[in-house]
Structure 1
Amino acid sequence: MIIFGTKGYLYRLAILTLVCAQCGNPSAHTLRKRVTKFTLFFVPLFPVSTKYATQCTFCGAEQRLTAEQAEQLQAQALGQGGPGGPGGQGHGQPQQQPYQG
């Protein structure tokens, strides 16, 4: 008896601020990569398909992308510095001001 099938993996590559093509709002979009792998006896062996998409966090609309478009958006996200970097949104602790008493 041979047990085989597929298993899907979802990776979040970046979060970008884009204008949504569906609702028209400038909002955060999640750049995602979905990889489907062939499994044999529940062990993932090799990828069968790879798909890229962005999803609007405002309305939930999803737009499929090519690998080249996804690479460009990921490079754009890295160029912005990501969260906390130059041009990004800081999510760390606020800086404390020295006490002047």
Structure 2
Amino acid sequence: MIIFGTKGYLYQLAVLTLVCGHCGNPSAHTLRKRVTKFTLFFVPLFPISTKFATQCTFCGAEQRLTAPQAEQLQFQAASAPPSAQRVRPGE
């Protein structure tokens, strides 16, 4: 008997102050990475999919991002002071 399946992992990459595209409020957004891995006998072996998204802490709206967009926002969070991070995601 072979036991296989998938397991999801959620990583918080950064917290940015952005203007939400849903509610329009400037609020904190978490940049998240969700990785789904194939498991064999409960041991995660390799990633099947990787998805990036930002989530507004004010209204809870989530916006999916591409890998280059997520990388750009992560770089922006690491290099800019907190007061200079007011941009819309995806720009």
Do both share a fold (TM > 0.5)?
A: yes
Distance of 2:46 and 2:10 partners within structure 1: 15
Say whether residues 1:88 and 2:82 are aligned partners. yes
Distance of 2:23 and 2:78 partners within structure 1: 26
User: TM-score, length-normalised on structure 2?
Assistant: 0.89
Stretches of 4+ aligned residues off by more than 2 angstroms: none
- 1:78-101 alpha-carbon deviations (Å, 9 max, x no partner): 012xxxxxx238xxxxxxxxxxxx
Equivalent position of 1:96 in the other structure? none
Question: Given residue 52 of structure 2, which amino acid in structure 1 is its aligned partner?
Answer: Y
Equivalent position of 1:32 in the other structure? 32
Question: Given residue 50 of structure 2, which amino acid in structure 1 is its aligned partner?
Answer: T
User: TM-score, length-normalised on structure 1?
Assistant: 0.80
- 1:19-75 alpha-carbon deviations (Å, 9 max, x no partner): 000000000000000000000000000000000000000000000000000000000
Give the structure with the larger helix fraction. Answer: 2
Distance of 1:72 and 1:18 partners within structure 2: 14
Give the structure with the larger strand fraction. Answer: 2
Say whether residues 1:62 and 2:45 are aligned partners. no
Structure possessing the higher radius of gyration over alpha carbons: 1
Count of residue correspondences: 83
Distance of 1:39 and 1:29 partners within structure 2: 31
Equivalent position of 1:4 in the other structure? 4
Report % sequence identity. Answer: 83
Say whether residues 1:41 and 2:41 are aligned partners. yes
Secondary structure of the 1:78 match is: helix
Structure 2 unmatched ranges of 5 or more: 84-91
